[in-house]
Chains A and B, each alone.
Chain A
Amino acid sequence: MIFYITTIIIMVLIAPILLSFIKMVKMYLLFKRPISILQGYKDVSKLITKETIISKEASDITRIAPFLVLSPLLLVLFFLPPATSGAFYVSFVDAFTITGLITLSTFFLMLLGLDSASSFGGLGSSREAFISALVEPAMILTIFSVSMMANNLGVAQAGVNLAKEFPSNHMASFLFAGISFFILLIAENGRIPVDNPETHLELTMVHEAMILDITGFYLALIESAASIKFVIFASLFASLFMPFGLDLNPWLSILLFVAKLFFVALLVALIEVNTAKLRLFKVPNLLGIAIVFAFLSLITFYVLGA
């Protein structure tokens, strides 16, 4: 139980750091003076002290929604695969529940964007709906196919099983699932080929457009929700597709887990530096590849057993 709680606390604490880390690596690679790795905390603390202003047109949803954006994601944190063997985990939660909870959070985010009645909010929400509609099927297929390889539909149990017995006979479908999941990780977190988190240009905004009218404490909630979403995806990627090192000394394997999270963040940063943002109407192409790979992973597993 102690490792379970510790892992969750570490993930929550590390979440803002990971996003700052990505930014730092990017700035370093672009020969800029890198920001501090604790920038995420600085932003949140600044936002909390600021005054919260709510648009006149906004209804009660604007007051409730930020909490409802954050809370499903916090809930998901409890269902993730464990970082070390012997730790407590919730074994019965499957792909549908996790995807559903993440979508619930996205749903409230979209409501939030619509509620302020600004033109940007509607634009951002419709784009977000467009992207997440394409992400969901691929996401379910991918996690499903990995769960099949691990002989258990529960995501956390699948992670444990994969660590115990690596599916070396199913490397091909495992690889396809990995590719698909990585594309989803990028798309769902609004990283570069799909969305640029750093810009406020109306042509390209997705996530930023929805939260343009949110200020102060609520913005802090939304920002931390975004970072927690990234940590959820990164930890799913780490425990499903890099399932090793769980049998070490518990503290050591938690450390390794954190290292894996940073590795995922590094990969994302490298991709962000090396690619240009896609036009919005090209995004389905990328997600199409993800769907094809997810499906391919399933049929390769079922038909060929490879």
Chain B
Amino acid sequence: MVEFFIGIFLATLITALFTTRLYRLLLWYSLNSMSLGLLALILGGQFEDRAMIISGIITLIVKAMGIPYFLKYLSERLSLNRQISPNIKIQHSIILIPAILVFTFYLAEPISHMVQGNSNYVAISISSLFLSLLLMMEHTNIAPKIIGFLSMENALFLLGTTATGGMPMLVELGIFFDLLMAIVVVNLLLKNEEEVEGDA
């Protein structure tokens, strides 16, 4: 079952790379976070780790519902450009993405042997880190860049959950706190932009 959610995690990220519409992208991000949250719940249940269960629930509430909804609200109110076409041509990404995946899978191979238990997830989370970087790189618009940043956070969270068997509670809460702060800053930046444009 865990493998299944890992698969969904990577699949939604790859699909997000091909997306050209903002709301679709938010949907993929939301599904991505949802699979992450469910994964944390399942693993937390396996290890009987309360911290992981709590962070899984927070992930489900904040990342899978709160943030996508808020970003949608923001983009509606600020009438952001919802047409987001990647700068990298699709035929190039078809080559590029498998190349990244192969590279990161082999890169992570020596690491996977050292992490006990869920060794594959390290490889998957490293490759999703690279894919989120690609997501940030291939767009010039702000919104997909933010989504890329958030998916990078997700990838790190996946790594933290699977490679280490759960980070300390304090760190996970701190990461959430910083995520919320990032959203606040993004909100302020976008708002300010609108004000400036309104003045001009």
Do A's and B's CB atoms come within 8 Å in the complex? yes
Residue ID in chain A nearest B102 by CB atoms: A299
Q: How far is the CB of A286 from chain B (nearest CB, A)?
A: 8
* Residues 284-303 of chain A, each 1 if its beta carbon lies under 8 Å from chain B, else 0: 11001101110110011001
Q: Is the CB of B94 within 8 A of A288?
A: yes
- Which of A288, A303, A304 touches B91 (beta carbons < 8 Å)? A288
Complex: how many Å from CA A293 to CA B15? 9
Q: Is the CB of A306 within 8 A of B94?
A: no
- Which of B6, B7, B10, B91 touches A284 (beta carbons < 8 Å)? B91
Question: Residue B120 at the A interface, CB < 8 A?
Answer: yes
Question: Residue A256 at the B interface, CB < 8 A?
Answer: no
Residues on A with C-beta less than 8 A from B112 are 304
Residues on A with C-beta less than 8 A from B186 are none
Secondary structure at the B interface, as helix, strand, loop or mixed, is helix
Stretch of A47-55, A123-131, A174-182 on the interface side: A174-182
Q: How far is the CB of B187 from chain A (nearest CB, A)?
A: 31
Residues on B with C-beta less than 8 A from A304 are 105, 112, 120, 123-124
With A292-B14, A304-B124 given, name 18 new contacts (CB 8 A).
Answer: A168-B3, A170-B3, A171-B4, A171-B7, A174-B7, A175-B7, A284-B90, A288-B18, A291-B94, A292-B97, A292-B98, A296-B14, A296-B101, A299-B98, A299-B102, A303-B102, A304-B123, A306-B3
Sorted nearest first, the 10 A-B pairs with minimum C-beta distance are: A171-B3, A175-B7, A172-B7, A306-B120, A171-B4, A303-B105, A288-B94, A304-B120, A172-B3, A295-B98
Interface residues of A (CB under 8 A from B): 168-176, 179, 284-285, 288-289, 291-293, 295-296, 299-300, 303-306
Can you list 24 A-B pairs, Cβ within 8 angstroms, ordered by A?
Answer: A168-B3, A170-B3, A171-B3, A172-B120, A172-B124, A174-B7, A175-B7, A175-B11, A179-B11, A284-B91, A285-B90, A288-B91, A292-B94, A292-B97, A293-B11, A296-B10, A296-B14, A299-B102, A300-B105, A303-B106, A304-B120, A304-B124, A306-B6, A306-B7
